[in-house]
Amino acid sequence: MRNVLRRACGSFRPSWALALAAAAALPLLGGGCSTPLGAARRDFYAGRFERADQALSNAPPAKDKALYLMERGTIRQARGAYPESARDYIAASDELARLQTYSVSKGATSLVINDNVQDFSGVPYERTLLHAFTAHNHLALADWDNAAVEARRIITSLQPEHRGTYPEDAYSRYVAGFCLEMIDDDSNAALQYSKASALAKRAAIKPATGRLTPKRAAAKPAVGKAETGQMPPIPPVELPASPPAGPPAVPPAEVPAELQRGTNTAELVCFILAGRLPAPEADGYGYEAELPVYAEIRYRGQRLGRSHILADTAELASLTAQKEALRKAAKTATRVVIKKVISHQVEQKNESLGVLTWLLLLLLEQPDTRCWETLPRWLEVARVNCPADLKEFDVVFKTPAGTPVRTLHVTQPIQRRRNILVAVCRDLAPAGGAPPSRVQSQPIEFGGPYPPDRRP
């Protein structure tokens, strides 16, 4: 240990008491591992939604305000508290917009300590999905106008001047197109559907109708040596257009003829969120060995159709981490030099204190891995014909081979606009397996969370 310290600090002779004190102080300086946010995430994935919500009821640390609001908004959405979730998401979006103006004081501090002292400002794909998830709440409340507001904000966030060269996702484009379709802005809806189809790896989307079909997997390119420091992209997985041959756990049934056409036919659009975003690592996101799941929509035992994966948040996170790698590496190198200079200046007056200063600053050199951890991994859409009087349906999650994994029974919220029914479903179940309770609350009105300049 003494030799390690000597190599790190040159000819300095460290005081063991000071070194031990520095190590003991590290958890305090770093904030520790047990936080309300960590507890809320654990409760969320355990299905204890109300407990998770309660964990984030107090005021968050100023630097993590936006992140707390994003996580709490997701928790409240899972609870069925859609107006409250929308308010959290909107407040988080406003906070992130404010933080786009660089904070000189905190930026300078991060060059001495680490990036964790800076305000959480998210990355482009998180800021875009924030609008898409806000739109989910408005759709669940049949608030078509406010959903269209979020559609326009999705489109704005994906413009090059806002997104830069960071990745965009087909799912957010589809949500924007659907919300515009719901207010009869068909031409702009078709444009978003067309862009979503171009981005999607596993599904093709018809611009005129928003209908989805499987996209054939492209021929695999020759496997070459990956560039140093980069991660290979996830190869697209071609999911079956219909249940595979063989006796599945649930007997198959074709869509009845009366549901294929006729006056008593409606269309069900279900936004399906499945899986869990992998936890970030110090050097970015690694691709987990996780097979994508898709969902089969069933009504009274009859198969109406299936979902199609439009985005993988793990892929978005990994591609974003690659974009950030060079910038973060350069900043870290600069920070280490500054820390060395500071400790050397202190050492000129007090050798032991100089060693302690260097050790503390070096131990505090930790990467910023904060992210929106309650995001699902797979973002999917099912658009199928259904009975006009549909009030409930089953979502059967399956592996790419067609093996059923679990079934969720959806009864609410199922909203209607003309002959289109809308639902949002996440592959989460509260403790005990009961469906989320609908929280009684007031719908969002203009003049509340939206400033006047955001009216549609």
Kindly indicate whether the domain formed by 36-213+239-440 is annotated with CATH number 1.25.40.10. yes
Out of 78-87, 276-285, 335-344, the most confident range is 78-87
- Confirm whether pTM is higher than 0.75: no
Examine the pLDDT at 319 and tell me if it is beyond 70.
yes
d(CA 395, CA 79): 18
How high is the pLDDT of residue 429?
54
**What value does the mean pLDDT of the chain take?**
75
Closest CA to 417 of 178, 232, 250: 178
Q: Which residue has the tokens 């109406």?
A: 304
Instruction: Convert the pLDDT of each residue in 69-109 to its tens digit.
Output: 999 999 999 999 999 999 999 999 999 988 876 554 444 44
Closest listed residue to residue 311, CA positions, set 403, 376, 397, 238: 376
Q: Which two tokens stand for residue 301?
A: 């035992």
Domain ranges of the chain: 36-213+239-440
Helix pair 124-140, 65-79: axis angle to 10 deg = 30
Give the span between the Cα atoms of 370 and 351, in whole angstroms: 36
Q: Which residue has the tokens 């990745």?
A: 167
Percentage of the chain with pLDDT > 70? Answer: 61
Q: What is the pLDDT of residue 369?
A: 78
